[in-house]
Amino acid sequence: MILRDALLEGTRALREAGVPGPERDARLLLAEVLSMSVGRLTLEPDWDVSPDQIKQFHGFLARRSAREPVSRILGRRNFWGRDFEVTPDVLDPRPETETLIDAALKGAPPKSLIDLGCGSGIIGVTLLAEWQMASGICSDVSQPCLAVTTRNATTHGVRSRLELVQSSWFEQIDGSFDLIVSNPPYITDDEMALLDPDVALHDPHLALTPGGDGLSPYRILATGTQTHLAPKGRILVEVGWKQGPDVAQIFSDAGLTQVQIIPDMDGRDRVVSGRKDTQ
Ligand SMILES: C[S@@+](CC[C@H](N)C(=O)[O-])C[C@H]1O[C@@H](n2cnc3c(N)ncnc32)[C@H](O)[C@@H]1O
């Protein structure tokens, strides 16, 4: 079969299965099978796709039709221009988390930072890669997440400046940091009942929800800034799009100043930041 026909067939199969963006996903999966860039697919419509490659493509299409995300099928996700390994143990990184990176990079480079609930390490590893003079900690309560973060840190050349600590939030963390970042689990009990199958079936429950109103990690993080945020340090957290005002209030109540709610590319509240101005 030639490439153009394989692509048409794949797009049709995904569309019939109700997958959103069927052509985009069919392209990503076929490009992987052919070890070709997605852009090159358009330039090679008559490329000969072997029977083994068609078999592998059909396997990928069946998994995507069952709503397994493309990044889980490929085992990687691009984030802030770098490819990160993802496994079933970690949250599939979301593009909207780049809002947090953008906001962090607009501030002064820190000497020390900590990423709490690091998952695959996208936040901490990206910031250390961007700030070559910084060092820091990635921590998570999940040991498998730390293993994935370690590999991503090695891939992106920041392993020597990164410590990995298994901890529930600040419980095993010593010292203070110029920058605290976190994308904690924040989905409420009510929202969990309505989740899209791409998310509900494939992201770890631990990464999605802390239960209840989804705000408990923010209360812990805000309290932790009293001990673990250095004077003049900053904290930036990702929030659910309805949680901005509540998290901003939690930060203000904890004595943080210059509290800001920052929107994502879709204009929805996505990040809350605060600063410690006292000694
Ligand atoms: C929404 S995911 C974010 C992962 C990653 N930072 C990202 O942005 O893709 C939340 C992470 O918090 C971790 N987590 C859940 N409860 C935790 C706790 N009590 N202490 C530390 N980390 C926790 C989960 O294992 C998960 O990796």
Integer Cα distance of 203 and 185 in angstroms: 11
200 lines ligand 1 (CB under 6 A): no
Residue of the CA atom closest to atom 4 of ligand 1: 119
Distance from the alpha carbon of residue 217 to the mean position of ligand 1, in angstroms: 10
**The CATH homologous superfamily of the domain defined by 87-275:** Vaccinia Virus protein VP39 (3.40.50.150)
pTM: 0.93
Residue 137 contacts residue 150 (beta carbons within 8 Å): no
Q: Which residues of the chain are in CATH 3.40.50.150 domains? A: 87-275
Top pLDDT among 202 and 228 is at 228
Q: List the residue whose alpha carbon is closest to atom 24 of ligand 1.
A: 207
Q: Which residues pair with 275 in a beta bridge?
A: 234, 257
CA-proximal residue: ligand 1, atom 6 (nearest)? 118
Q: Are 86 and 148 in contact (CB under 8 A)?
A: yes
Instruction: Output the six-digit token pair for 206.
Output: 């631990």
Kindly report, residue by residue over 54-102, the tens digit of the pLDDT: 999 999 999 999 999 999 999 999 999 999 999 999 999 999 999 999 9
What pLDDT score was predicted for residue 199?
84
Name the fold adopted by 3-66: Helicase, Ruva Protein; domain 3 (1.10.8)
Q: Which residues of the chain form CATH 1.10.8? A: 3-66
**In this structure, how many other beta carbons lie within 10 angstroms of the beta carbon of residue 184?**
19
